[in-house]
Amino acid sequence: MPSKYGPELRRRALRMLAEARSEHESLTAACRHVGGLLGVSPETLRVWQCRYDIDTGVKPDTSIDMAEENRRLRREVTELRKANEVLEAASVIFEGTRPATNEMIAFIDEHRDRFGVEFLCRTLRAAVRGFLTSRGYRAAKQRTPSARQLRDELLVPEIQRLHAKHYGVYGRRKMHALLKREGWDIGRDQTERLMRLVGVRGVRKSKRVFATQPNKTMVLPADLVSRRFVADEPRKL
């Protein structure tokens, strides 16, 4: 597509810009002044001036290949940063064996607006065994809920309620026993899975050993034997 500005107008604009730069404090201000006189965008004038400086050797050029390579590297860095964010968020939820389908769907639903379904599935399939593809995710979203999914939807709010009721200290074993007492037919592994799904866990005992703290303000007993703890005979030390 031919430019709407002819070469004569470009040469004239550059001459006027060279004269105006001595009267203005910056190239941007000079471009605005000359652009207003000629009806040319200040950004267009700035690009013309930069290209002229490169052609005349005033400013070194960056080749098209190098510029494209820089853009490609910037895109790769951006992709890697996004992938690290996804993997860091997923590492808290997905551990060990293949995660349940509803867990994967819930994770994608939570992060899809920020990263996109395709990017999430592509990134996590390389890190999490058996993770959904983007096609599998959409098929699962359109599929009629299974009996397990419906049961999970009933149990999840009950687990959250009971966990909060008991001050958030119950772990897998106590929560499983509590659910059994409440009349739910549920296994221990299922209890653990649902607790992990909603992000609740029990309070763990601290492994830190609290030793006796010395009182540095007390006067220590004097060394009466000059650290010689072996006596030659009884009652001599």
What is the enclosing helix (H) or strand (E) of 134? Answer: helix 134-142
**Quick one: pLDDT at residue 65?**
57
pLDDT tens track for 31-87: 888 888 888 888 888 888 888 877 776 666 554 556 677 788 888 898 899 989 998
- The model's pTM: 0.40
In 3D space, the residue among 203, 166, 201, 199 whose CA is nearest the CA of residue 182 turns out to be 166
Q: Give tens-digit pLDDT for 5-29.
A: 788 888 888 888 888 888 888 888 8
Q: Is 189's pLDDT higher than 80? A: yes
* Contact between residue 159 and residue 198 where contact means Cβ atoms under 8 Å apart: yes
Question: For the chain, which residues make up each domain, given as ranges?
Answer: 7-55, 78-142, 147-198
- Position 62 scores a pLDDT of 53
Residue written as token pair 């007993």: 221
What is the C-alpha to C-alpha distance for residues 108 and 126, in angstroms, rounded to an integer?
15
- CA–CA separation, 158 vs 75, rounded Å? 45
pLDDT value, residue 1: 41
Give first-to-last CA distance, the chain, whole Å.
Answer: 108
The pLDDT of residue 106 is above 70: yes
The C-alpha angle with vertex 164 and arms to 89 and 202, in degrees rounded to 5, equals 60
When the pLDDT of each residue in the chain is averaged and rounded to a whole number, the result is 83
pLDDT range class, residue 229, cuts 50, 70, 90 = confident
Alpha-carbon distance 195 to 159, whole Å?
A: 7
**What fold characterizes domain 7-55?**
Arc Repressor Mutant, subunit A (1.10.10)
Please indicate whether residue 113 or residue 52 has the higher confidence score (pLDDT). Answer: 113
Whether the pLDDT of residue 2 is over 60: the answer is no
Average pLDDT rounded to a whole number, residues 78-106: 84
Centre a 10 Å sphere on the Cβ of residue 191 and count the other Cβ atoms it contains.
23
Pick the more confident residue, 229 or 194. Answer: 194
d(C-alpha 157, C-alpha 227), whole Å: 68
